[in-house]
Amino acid sequence: MTEAILRIRNLRTYFFTRRGIVKAVDGIDFDLRKSECLCLVGESGCGKTVTALSILNLVDSPPGRVVSGEIYYDSLNLLKCPPDQIRRIRGKEIAMVFQDAQSALNPVFTIGDQIAEQVKLRPEVNQREAKEQVINLLKEVGMPIPEKMIGYYPHQLSGGMRQRAMIAMSLSGDPQILIADEPTTAVDVTVKGQILDIFSQLKSTRQMSLLFITHELGIVSEIGDRIMVMYGGKIVETATVSELLNNPKHPYTISLIKCLPDITQVMGRLESIPGTVPSLINPPSGCLFHPRCDKAMAVCSKEEPPPFIVAEGRTVFCHLYSRPER
Amino acid sequence: MTNRLKSTRSITRKVDRVKNLAFIIAMVLLVTTLLLDIFVIEMIFDLLTYLYIALGLLFVRYGIPLLYASRRLIQYYWQRAIKNKLAVGGLVFILLLILLAFIGPLFTVDPTAVNFDEKNLPPLGFTIEESVYKIETKQFITSRITGTSEHPLGTDDKGRDLLAMIVSGTRVSLQVGLFATGIAIILGTLIGVSAAYLGGKTDNILMRFTDIMMTFPFFLLLVFIVFIFGPNLALIVIVIGLTGWTGTARLIRSESLSLRTREFVMASKALGASDRRIILSHLIPNVISLIIVIATLSIPGVILAEAALSFIGLGDPSVASWGMILKAGQQNLDTTWWVAVAPGIMLFLTVLAFNFLGDGLRDAFDPRSNI
């Protein structure tokens, strides 16, 4: 097994609001290994984005705060870093691609200028070299005619091109880890495929580690190596992609996969999971999923499920798998 | 990799470092000359000149790069603004004024030259009747005085050429208007953007400070300061600048508050940009249109404030500002009416021109208006 480049232990990020404490991320552990693509999957509001922002120390404070946990990059605990050092890590070691490139690019600068920001920070780079590097970066993400495109403003580009520019921008610091927060949500289906291709290409050419956040299981099967399913600020299941898709263990994962439309069969209504995402201010007791779970048992509403290792590298947080031992 | 993490070199661009260094050296030089000037030798320049040089340096270091960075925005708005005829008229008038202030004094006579033989001459094309007591004949004779082409706008009661006075007054009024507004805009923008971006306690402290400054009757303060330190144009400019930023700060803050939550600020942070960098290169270029409008609309207020101050007799007596001429003229309004009318018209037109331009720019910058 390759070594972990990012280790997250017992991360808890809470938001202290007037209505109460929102436990957006509540005690998660995971490792991101070198040059793998780890997918983080879950419904809206389950804490995926907050996890990503916590890694970069970008949680808005107040109201948010990382209340406990450790995030190790190499041997460095990012949560204990002074602001100056974490700034050096952002973009250079760990970079992030945002969901909506339209709003994540500054409307008053050309994309060339914006990508060059990071490149120019290197002391040995002069103006001309910086421009060359920007063009190379744009080429790498498959931007057509990059020499011309660097003079364009974000609003002059199509959604796909903007997303490419955004990716090029995040690559400009030559990071080891790329966190992609739903990078395909704002683009249409054909572009989605191209963007995914860019990511898998980057993974192999740059030996980068990817933390890919998405809510679409379809994407995961294309790009992911391993997958984590998140529910209500907690991880409920970790597995390799093929195992998880073919043999889901957690009832939540099972129902998620059931919700995927299958184009080979004529179906009536699409499946959906009954109920709604639990309130994170006032979460249900025990397992967070038990009110919506069709296999719920008495113990589910009382005790929080501990991790059960069902196979090598495969963890499920569900009481169903504790029964045989009892 | 550990080496990469531990590198302590500050993250500043090479170009920026050179620029910063040049800027700091220039500023230090300026302050040294100023100190030398005050304590060692007699004044080489007056205080106002130092202020101009300092503001000029600031503009070259920060203003020009900012304007250059937002050139597309400015170009776009420019095209919208020139569709407004009144605004273009205002701009043309202002440009002419600036030209007049710069090269006008080269063509006019000395505005301070007193000549009692030619006092109270009416403007060119006007004729007045004047009763003069002749000592030789011991009787009043009525003589008709016609304006001459030597003094196209006439002369005042000390025989000073009014045209020359107006031209030198243009310089004073524009200086006061531009530089006091310059100081106010810089302060207001920095305070407004910082308050919005840093938020929390900093925001609270800065905005309460703004509130306190707002409640302060600035004209009274101005009168007070002139009373204590004596009338000095540089002082007046500085005081107007240091008290006039409050409205700007509030407007800029409210505009930046919505910008702060935009994703590109977060994206820039995620790529390792510093707070200073985000404020200077992401927030301010996005509010530059607002800054230009506020600046244009606040210049006439400042010019009027200086005129009012001169009018009540608290202006700098060593410079012939429009307010000073106006004040001198209004005492003899029944006889030598032209002395007060000329600066009055100039003030009126200048204020109107800035207001037209400002209104035009505001309409051009307003995304909801369809020009």
- ipTM, two decimals: 0.80
Q: How far is B6 from chain A (nearest CA, A)?
A: 8
Q: What are phi and psi of B109, to 5 degrees?
A: -75, 175
- Classify residue A61: in a domain, yes or no: yes
Partner-chain contact A173 B272, CB within 8 Å: yes
pLDDT value at position A323? Answer: 57
Q: Least CA distance to A54: which residue of chain B?
A: B270
- Classify residue A267: in a domain, yes or no: yes
Q: Sorting pLDDT into bands at 50, 70 and 90, what band is B12?
A: low
DSSP SS3 for A147: helix
Cα distances (Å, whole numbers) of residue B150 to B103, B123, B126, B154, B336? 19, 10, 14, 9, 18
In this structure, the strands spanning A64-73 and A226-231 are unpaired
- Classify residue A66: in a domain, yes or no: yes
Partner-chain contact A107 B286, CB within 8 Å: yes
pLDDT value at position B93? Answer: 92
| A5, A207 contact by CB (below 8 A) | no
Q: Does B8 touch chain A (CB under 8 A)?
A: no
The answer on pLDDT for B146 being more than 80 is: no
Terminal-to-terminal C-alpha distance of chain A: 32
Q: Does A74 touch chain B (CB under 8 A)?
A: yes
Task: Report how many Cβ contacts below 8 Å link chain A to chain B.
Answer: 95
| B168, B319 contact by CB (below 8 A) | yes
Q: Sorting pLDDT into bands at 50, 70 and 90, what band is B209?
A: very high
| A34, A5 contact by CB (below 8 A) | yes
Partner-chain contact B262 A153, CB within 8 Å: no
Q: How far is A76 from chain B (nearest CA, A)?
A: 9
| A111, A166 contact by CB (below 8 A) | no
Provide the domain count of chain A: 1
Beta bridge partners, B142, equal: B131
At A21-36, the pLDDT tens digits run: 888 888 888 888 888 8
Partner-chain contact B272 A166, CB within 8 Å: no
CB contacts of A98 in chain B (<8 Å) are 263, 266-267, 270
Partner-chain contact A89 B274, CB within 8 Å: no
> Which alpha helices (DSSP H) does chain B contain, by range?
2-6, 14-39, 47-58, 64-69, 71-81, 85-107, 162-198, 200-215, 218-229, 233-243, 246-260, 263-270, 275-278, 284-311, 322-330, 337-365
| A316, A310 contact by CB (below 8 A) | yes
CB contacts of A74 in chain B (<8 Å) are 1-2, 5
pLDDT value at position B15? Answer: 65
Q: Does A96 touch chain B (CB under 8 A)?
A: yes
pLDDT value at position A179? Answer: 92
The answer on pLDDT for B5 being more than 50 is: no
CB contacts of B264 in chain A (<8 Å) are 103-107
Per-residue DSSP letters for A74-118? TTEEGGG--HHHHHHHBTTTEEEE-S-HHHHS-TTS-HHHHHHHH
| A89, A81 contact by CB (below 8 A) | yes
Q: Which of A173-177, A186-190, A259-263 has the lowest mean pLDDT?
A: A259-263
CA distance B99 to B108: 14
Interval B195-201 mean pLDDT: 87
Cα torsion B55, B58, B60, B66: sign: negative
Helix H, strand E, coil C: the string for B305-335 is: HHHHHHHCCCCCCCCCCHHHHHHHHHCCCCC
**B residues 73-132 lying closer than 8 A (beta carbon) to A:** 73
Q: Phi-psi bin for B60: left (phi > 0), alpha (psi -120 to 50), beta?
A: alpha
**Which of the pair, A238 or B134, is modelled with greater confidence?**
A238
Partner-chain contact B69 A121, CB within 8 Å: no
Structural domain containing residue A263: 4-93+209-284+307-317
Peptide bond preceding A306 in cis form (omega within 30 of 0): no
| Closest-CA residue to B168 (of B322, B304, B309, B303) | B322
Please give the mean pLDDT across all residues of chain A.
84
**Which of the pair, B253 or B324, is modelled with greater confidence?**
B253
Cβ-in-10-Å burial (0-12, 13-18, 19+) of B352 comes to middle
- What's at A175, amino acid-wise? P
Name the token pair of B366: 């307003």
CB contacts of B5 in chain A (<8 Å) are 74, 76, 85, 88-89, 93
Cβ-nearest to B72 among A118, A120, A153: A153
- Classify residue A165: in a domain, yes or no: no
Q: Sorting pLDDT into bands at 50, 70 and 90, what band is B7?
A: very low
CA distance A245 to A204: 23
pLDDT value at position B367? Answer: 66
- Classify residue A253: in a domain, yes or no: yes
pLDDT value at position B1? Answer: 45
Cα torsion B117, B118, B119, B122: sign: positive
- Classify residue A116: in a domain, yes or no: no
Cβ-nearest to B269 among A58, A76, A85: A58
| Closest-CA residue to A305 (of A320, A283, A324) | A320
Interval A162-187 mean pLDDT: 87
Partner-chain contact B268 A98, CB within 8 Å: no
Per-residue DSSP letters for A298-311? GGGGTSPPPPEEEE
pLDDT value at position B96? Answer: 92
pLDDT value at position B193? Answer: 92
- Classify residue A73: in a domain, yes or no: yes
- Classify residue A113: in a domain, yes or no: no
CA distance A252 to A294: 10
Q: Least CA distance to A107: which residue of chain B?
A: B286
| Closest-CA residue to A93 (of A30, A32, A163) | A32
CATH number at residue A239: 3.40.50.300
CA distance B353 to A43: 58
Q: In chain A, what are the helix, strand and coil shares in percent, each to the nearest 5?
A: 35, 25, 40
Per-residue DSSP letters for B166-218? HHHHHHHHHHHHHHHHHHHHHHHHHHHHHHHHH-HHHHHHHHHHHHHHHHS-H
At B170-188, the pLDDT tens digits run: 888 888 888 889 889 999 9
CA distance A48 to A231: 9
pTM over 0.80: no
